[in-house]
Amino acid sequence: MRITRFELFPLGIPLKAPFVTSLGTLSEVQSVVLRATCDDGLVGWGECNPFWSINGETQETCLAVGKHLAKTLIGLDAADIEGAHARMDRLIFGNSSIKSAFDIALHDIAAQAAGLPLFRFLGGTDNRQLTTDYTVSLGSPEKMAADAQNIVRNGFPVIKVKLGGTGDLDIRRIQAIRERIGSITPLRIDANQGWDPDTAIRVLNALADRNIQHCEEPIPRWQFMEMRRVKEASPIPIMADESCCDHHDAERLIALGACQRFNIKLGKSGGLFKARTIIALAEQAGMEVQIGGFLESRLAWTAAAHLA
């Protein structure tokens, strides 16, 4: 089961509507798809969606770095996923997005070789119901309220709301949404690093009675030393996203007592292997996790669903 060939393909998919966060606006998905072939004929597929403002990668950089990663992994036993990560990390620092595509493809091959669906290969069972939220992009309070109403009509059990503008405007956005959809459907809010610590504390306290499950990344990722202060002053649980990429970040945030939850994304962690390490650390610390993602196609999202 030695790897004999890797092929990288650019994938572009226009979005039906712009995806808007405090980090910017996206109107098209630019991903990279990976096909790995072994000497026994097994083929594995992976995908990544580089998110410029979060992991510092683009489709172009992924294609370029991916060629170097492919060279260092040719001849490796596809089941040696830990060894593959050691080789990739020794070759180049960071670049977690393109590394995740290789990781997913290797897991695909290893699970096939074991004759198991991926979730069973990872040690999971099929006794858990998976649910997903749907995101309201950043916009005017009126537009966001209308979008939230459409999401409720489409049957989603939870709504995720992008925030991260001025504090008062964000409060009005949530008020408008609640006036339109009522108080029953729970919300998850995500500031994408858009507030300073004092603004975060003020906004989160103002939204205490709005049935909000958690707030993702309220302050800039480099201010992680301030996260605990925000957490302790907030009536809403804090979830680390951009500040929690790999297991080293998770260890640091746990040691600091910075948050109650992690948002794990394969494109941040470098794939399933390191994501499982984060999950183990969170379990030991009594923390909850969410399996999130960027704008991948169903290929990478299938891997994320198996992890969940």
Gyration radius from the chain CA atoms: 20
Catalytic residue among 47, 170, 216, 226: 216
Q: State how far the Cα of 174 lies from the Cα of 172, in Å rounded to an integer.
A: 5
Q: State how far the Cα of 193 lies from the Cα of 217, in Å rounded to an integer.
A: 5
Instruction: Give me the pLDDT at residue 165, please.
Output: 86
The verdict on whether 168 is a catalytic residue reads: no
pTM of the model: 0.95
The verdict on whether 265 is a catalytic residue reads: yes
Instruction: Give me the pLDDT at residue 298, please.
Output: 95
The CATH 3.30.390.10 domain(s) of the chain lie at 3-119
CATH of 121-307, picked from 3.40.640.10, 3.20.20.120, 3.40.50.2300, 3.40.50.10320, is 3.20.20.120
Instruction: Give me the pLDDT at residue 173, please.
Output: 98
Catalytic residue among 99, 160, 162, 268: 162
The verdict on whether 216 is a catalytic residue reads: yes
Architecture of domain 3-119: 2-Layer Sandwich (3.30)
The CATH 3.20.20.120 domain(s) of the chain lie at 121-307
The verdict on whether 7 is a catalytic residue reads: no
Instruction: Give me the pLDDT at residue 53, please.
Output: 87
> Which residues of the chain have a pLDDT value below 70?
none
Instruction: Give me the pLDDT at residue 151, please.
Output: 97
Catalytic residue among 170, 217, 241, 296: 241
Instruction: Give me the pLDDT at residue 24, please.
Output: 86
Catalytic residue among 99, 231, 265, 274: 265
Which tokens belong to 302? 């299938």
- Write the pLDDT tens digit of every residue in 202-233: 999 999 999 999 999 999 999 999 999 999 99
- Write the pLDDT tens digit of every residue in 114-145: 999 999 999 998 888 899 999 999 999 999 99
Catalytic residue among 57, 190, 242, 249: 190
Instruction: Give me the pLDDT at residue 274, please.
Output: 98
Buried b (16+ CB within 10 A) or exposed e, 269-306: bbbbbbbbbbbebbeeeebebbbbbbbbeebbbbbbeb
The verdict on whether 40 is a catalytic residue reads: no
